[in-house]
Structure 1
Amino acid sequence: MTGLAPVVGVVGAAGAVGAAAVAELHRRGRHVLRLAGRRRAPLDALCHGLAATGGPPPTVEVLDINDTEALHRFCTGCDVVLNCAGPAYLVEDRVARAALASGADYVDAAGDDVLWEQVEALVARVPGRIAVISAGMMPGLSALLPRYLAATLSDRPRRLLGYLGGRDRFTATAAADYLRVGEGFGTAGAALTGGVRARQPLPTRTDAELPFFPELATAVPYLSTELERVARSLGVTDATWHSVFAGPHVAQVLRQPPAGVDAPEALRRAAELDAFGHATYQLIVVELTTVAGDAQTLVLRGDNASALTGAFAAVAVAALTEGTLAVGPHHAGEALDPRVAVDLLAGSAAVSDLTVFDGEAADVGGHVEEAL
């Protein structure tokens, strides 16, 4: 980076995640923003909204990421390129290739194990570059928050318990990615017991009372490769994580997803039905218990997953441009300084509350009736 304000190009800037990331980067005012998207009108509307908050206006460009030459032209001159375009399984490393080949560092709001392998290979061929993937809610915050909580403990953690989800909408892109998240990223029903995967799959719980969640919900055990890495790094031997869905329609689609191309649209519509007449919300609840039996619980609240993902992607960009990351590839939630990242998140409009409690989640966050 030079002494001038870093130039950050955002691909997919007018989408739900991209717009949240752009708003956070603009609010911080430490970057020159270049925005790209498929259609001009949403980009202009985004810039119009930013103008009301002051600061230099971003430049905008209509861009088809399938146009390799146009994508390279957009990336050229950027210090960092942030990719918020999706679905991630279709975009893959297309934006990463253009960014790194153009001399820019790279941040991706998405990132599974397949993308990691692709980006790791790209960075190996371009010495001196930095690439950060999985700068989202899960993967991303689902790794950062356990690391942050562990840093507050006086003893080594032994057990990790987590819940992530709520009552929220799915964009078409997010629905498509979510239905493919299990492919190469983790295993439903799995958990760690004594440092190894449990022999018997854990059951999905329906109509369950979950700590800090304001209503009964469905909790699906899910062991991601991200959680396994974090557990090893923290010395945790027992780890159980749950994806949480409030409302009956999304849970039904996930139990019996329709075959083929209709599945993402079915999930999107189910989420709309579950959100109708309700305030949307997302919760991340992380409990760590030490070898001595002491426990602490972290709770993060936000209105929706897209905003939380965009906010964390912006934090990853800030960490990169401020020189806190070494050259090479990184998973955002596992590489960022957790204290610095959480401080930045706490000041974001996407986060309505971030609190650490003494005690187990079940004791300090009992079921609370939903306020309508």
Structure 2
Amino acid sequence: MIGLLGATGAVGRTAAQRIAAYDLGPLRVGGRNLTSATALAASLAAPAQAIRVDLNDPAELAAFCEGCRIVVNCAGPTYQVLDTVARAAFAAGADYVDIGGELAAKDALTSGDVAGDQTAVFSAGVMPGLSGLLPRLLAKERPLRRLDVYVGGAAVFTPLSAVDALLTRGPKFGVPMAAWRDGRVVPNTLTPLHQVRLPGFPVPVHAWPYLTTEAQTLAADTGAHEVRSYNVFVSNRLPEALAAVWADADDTGPAALAPHADTVVRASLQDNADFGAFYVMLFTARPGPDGLPGPTRVLITAVDSYALSGVVMALATRAVLSGSVPPGVHLAAEVLDPDATAAALRDDPLVDDLTVV
């Protein structure tokens, strides 16, 4: 049995459809709205049962996980979930895949006693997730002089995703305006790029430097001399909205930031109204001094970043169930196979284009 939480959300629905299509086994889909979960279960191309479950109720969560081979969590927000569902899955003898989590959840899960023969994969979405995985296609068996990461577009934020975005500050998430050079983070070395034309982006965009912890790990793992990572926006509305909330909030905790989520949501809706919906991930490489041959660009485009995250969740689930992910607690970008992931994404109808050249 494959347990899928948050199944009726923007990410979970696609994850459920792909898991069913991959013929990985029967599903147990859970959510707070039993009517919606039941309708989804009936629509899937695999046997599925619907269960009402509240992640904040330990008894309901334990009952949901019981009997599952793997628990797949598409519910949020990340700052509330952390390692709660992962621990419930491990207690039931199940493996685990999560759309979020990042270092905070990984560290929380590994801080106590966890089963040594079980597997957990966090951050199995687009960013973090694909943003740290696909660039590895450019660095196979050769050091790079420079690697640039551009991720973003015109995606509508939900209130929960807005709060998660507002919480992406601090050492566990990244360093603004920083680059990676010669094996270390160099702060205050980059500036925003305004109204630039980038391959794959249909309009001129604004690219704000933000060296995520995922990008730092990518740099260390690949041996790249320099890594620059940018969050890309179609206007300055979202960067300005985020900055305004960070300046006005009493502190950086969820309780202080949550009331300001509407500011971020409204900015994203305005961008969507002006530019439509699109999501682009562009990775460019400059070879090292040895000049070894290899690709220099990876480009993936899609309409819906949430649905694309659902595809990644299903691929991570398939990888864990197939045994290609070793036991332990991992981040998706560090443990999934980039070639296999790219091949699967290239064939998925939700991906408009994926090229490696």
Check whether TM > 0.5: yes
Encode CA deviations 1:236-267: one digit per residue, 9 max, x unaligned: 12000100011343233123225343321111
Report the residue type matching 1:70 in the other structure.
Answer: E
Give the conservation status (yes or no) of the 8 Å contact 1:175–1:268. Answer: yes
Residue 270, structure 1, aligned to residue 267, structure 2? yes
Report the residue type matching 2:323 in the other structure.
Answer: G
Question: Following TM superposition, by how much is the alpha carbon of 1:160 offset from its aligned partner in structure 2, in angstroms?
Answer: 0.6
Note the 1:315-354 alignment, pairs <5 A: 315-354=315-354
Residue 35, structure 1, aligned to residue 29, structure 2? yes
Q: 1:179 aligns with which of 140, 149, 166?
A: 166
Report the residue type matching 1:285 in the other structure.
Answer: L
- Cα RMSD (Å): 1.8
Partner of 2:253: none
Distance in 1 of aligned mates of 2:174 and 2:64? 34
Report the residue type matching 2:90 in the other structure.
Answer: L
Residue 162, structure 1, aligned to residue 126, structure 2? no
How many matched pairs?
344
Partner of 1:366: none
Structure 1's 115 and 207: CA in aligned 2 closer, same or farther, altered over 3 A?
same
Secondary structure, aligned partner of 1:330 = strand
Partner of 2:194: 206
Q: 2:213 aligns with which of 225, 228, 236?
A: 225
Question: Following TM superposition, by how much is the alpha carbon of 1:308 offset from its aligned partner in structure 2, in angstroms?
Answer: 1.5
Percent of paired sites with the same residue: 35
Partner of 1:215: 203
Distance in 1 of aligned mates of 2:14 and 2:7? 9
Residue 64, structure 1, aligned to residue 58, structure 2? no
Note the 1:49-198 alignment, pairs <5 A: 49-50=43-44, 55-122=45-112, 124-151=113-140, 155-183=142-170, 184-198=172-186
Encode CA deviations 1:80-120: one digit per residue, 9 max, x unaligned: 00111101001111111110001001111112211110122
Secondary structure, aligned partner of 1:125 = coil
TM-score when normalising by structure 2: 0.91
Partner of 1:309: 309
Give the conservation status (yes or no) of the 8 Å contact 1:111–1:139. Answer: no
Note the 1:253-264 alignment, pairs <5 A: 253-257=241-245, 259=249, 260=256, 261-264=258-261
Question: Following TM superposition, by how much is the alpha carbon of 1:324 offset from its aligned partner in structure 2, in angstroms?
Answer: 0.6
Give the conservation status (yes or no) of the 8 Å contact 2:19–2:314. Answer: yes
Distance in 2 of aligned mates of 1:162 and 1:231? 11
Encode CA deviations 1:179-206: one digit per residue, 9 max, x unaligned: 1122321111111122222253422223
Partner of 2:231: 243
Question: Following TM superposition, by how much is the alpha carbon of 1:167 offset from its aligned partner in structure 2, in angstroms?
Answer: 0.8
Give the conservation status (yes or no) of the 8 Å contact 1:8–1:34. Answer: yes
Report the residue type matching 2:94 in the other structure.
Answer: A
TM-score when normalising by structure 1: 0.88
Give the conservation status (yes or no) of the 8 Å contact 2:83–2:101. Answer: no
